[in-house]
Amino acid sequence: MSSFKTGVLILALSTGICAKRYAVLAGNAYGGRQHAMLKYVRNDLDEFQAILTEFCGFTSDDILTLYNKSPQDLATTLQQLAARLSTAEKDDLFLFYYSGHADKQRLMMGEQDFKLATLRTMLESSPARIRIAILDACQSGSVTRIKGGRLAEPFLFKEDEKIQGQVILYSSSETENSQESDAYKNSIFTFHFLNALRGCGDLSGDGRITLGEAYQYSYNNTIVSTVRSSGGTQHPGYEFKIQGEGDIILADVNKHTQGLFIPYEVSGLLTIFDEQNRIVADFAKEANSAYTIALTPGEYRIVTTRDNTKKSATVRIAKKRISLLKTNEFVAVAPVAPGAAKGADIRRYAHRLGVRGGVDFYDFSTHTSLLNQRFAGFALIKSAPVFTMPASWPLLSLRHEIALQHGMYVHVAGSITWHARSHASAGSYLAIGDSTEYATSLALDERYLFGIVESGPGIRISRGLLSNLGFCAGLKLYLVKATVSSTFSDSLFKISNQSVRKEAGPLLLPYLETSYELPAAGFMRAGIAIEYRFQADAQRLLNESSDEAFRYYFGGFGVSIYSMAVF
């Protein structure tokens, strides 16, 4: 399963070997309450940084990573790096990567945004001689519309061109959605672009991956991965302003001392899984080509598909060693069940988890009236108790929401509340015959435990005059356990009688709720909610014929404040 995601990947270009390479990698998983939380932005950033340091000539000291930071943080980082580049070598390369939500005008960074026009201006003013921009974003192609741009087929630079200037690559056109995949655990375009740099995109077979080769590989594979998805096909594109001679080499697998060599005789669709069963490479290979795929040490499973036949082999990559994949190591495996294609659908939901604290208002007068009637006979010995129950009950609940598209959501919540009370009274009576007054006592103990489970659909409005308001309806199930025990003592007869009355059972009520919430900090939301529970009359918990059966009325209002985390 996959989900809508947006991201911007802007990569600075270089000719061959640059004096030094710098990068800013930024990403935001949260794009505001109108968007689902992205799952793999952190993965995108971590793996992009790993590829740059391992295969592309970057050092970790020259890569700045911003995860879930504000637009101000991004602007400050870009300005600081520009100042650093202004005193550096003229042949330096600058790379910027952003993964997160976006639309035609802005990067959505939490509840704030960073204008694409501002981003483009800062990139064009960078002192670096070569700049590359790759956008993995919903409608990311619109960044080229700022100064004109169009969707284009994959390109290759001529070998006699020396490259300097700026290139922008983007994952989808200005009318398309970009996607992330649970199978890849990455954004789809980013996954294929990074795998191109591992060696999968080495179209010439020389062990060096140029910008054109990486783009052509990710262009083709992004379309294949999304053509049948419910999110629609992504068509990557590019815009470049370059001049000079030479070629743009992004990665060189010839320099790597560890990985997997895939010989000519292995062909078909290849998928490489790591020890956590995570896809690290997924590509098609012809029989007339040989690849070296750069991999970190560990055990990998390689699955090939050719002519509806699947085969699998396991290879261990040792440190500082290139392992050879041999055809005689493959064994046949069962075909994948229908519907398991990667990138086949889009995750259209996000999770919200929160805590609520508040007060529920109840009217238990019917219940206490029955108890008072039951013990009214003790008035003859001056020991009749008076039963009371609180009108307001504190409540603490845990709530889980699944936010769907267009502000719709469903939720489930659980809470517990209780009440305990002890009462003791002393009385007396005159014995018939000798008129002696004898002492009596009555001790009462009341214990109530209410477990509450609720569920239902709702809608949260994000625009207009009712923005930030939410409405939901549902059912509340009250699970009640009640115990009323009494002990009566008589000094004349020297007796002590005990009585225990226990009742338990469910009670189901419909309710309506309205809420208002605002951003708190980071992914947190804070709000207030008011509910009303519908109940006509007090009801028994058990199907008893006695008029003394406990009766409860849970109808009424409730007020709570809450905090929700979106993920």
Residue 138 has pLDDT above 80, yes or no: no
Q: Is residue 403 a part of any domain in this protein?
A: yes
- pLDDT at residue 561, as a whole number: 96
Task: Dump the DSSP string for 499-549.
Answer: EEEEEEEEEEEEEEEEEEEEE-STTEEEEEEEEEE--SS-EESS----TTS
- In angstroms, the CA 158 to CA 160 distance is 5
The whole-angstrom distance between residue 521's C-alpha and the CA centroid of its chain comes to 16
Are 328 and 384 found together in one domain?
Answer: no
Q: What's the Cα-to-Cα distance from 452 to each of 78, 416, 480, rounded to whole Å?
A: 51, 6, 9
Q: Is residue 181 a part of any domain in this protein?
A: yes
- The domain spanning residue 412 has which CATH number? 2.40.160.20
Q: Specify which of 420-424, 429-433, 549-553 reaches the highest per-range mean pLDDT.
A: 420-424
Are 263 and 132 found together in one domain?
Answer: no
Are 117 and 219 found together in one domain?
Answer: yes
Q: Is residue 204 a part of any domain in this protein?
A: yes
Are 85 and 124 found together in one domain?
Answer: yes
- The domain spanning residue 307 has which CATH number? 2.60.40.10
pTM for the predicted model, two decimal places: 0.54
Are 132 and 211 found together in one domain?
Answer: yes
User: Mind listing the pLDDT tens digit for each residue in 295-353?
Assistant: 888 889 888 888 778 888 888 888 878 888 888 888 887 554 333 333 333 344 578 89
Residue 503, both tokens: 């009742």
Are 117 and 186 found together in one domain?
Answer: yes
Q: Is residue 120 a part of any domain in this protein?
A: yes
- pLDDT at residue 241, as a whole number: 65
Q: Which residue has the higher pLDDT, 78 or 231?
A: 78
Q: Is residue 288 a part of any domain in this protein?
A: yes
270 lies in which domain range?
A: 259-333
Domain count for the chain, please give it.
Answer: 3
Q: Which residue has the higher pLDDT, 13 or 120?
A: 120
Are 312 and 233 found together in one domain?
Answer: no
Are 278 and 388 found together in one domain?
Answer: no
Are 547 and 528 found together in one domain?
Answer: yes
Are 28 and 112 found together in one domain?
Answer: yes
- In angstroms, the CA 346 to CA 423 distance is 61
Are 164 and 129 found together in one domain?
Answer: yes
Are 68 and 200 found together in one domain?
Answer: yes
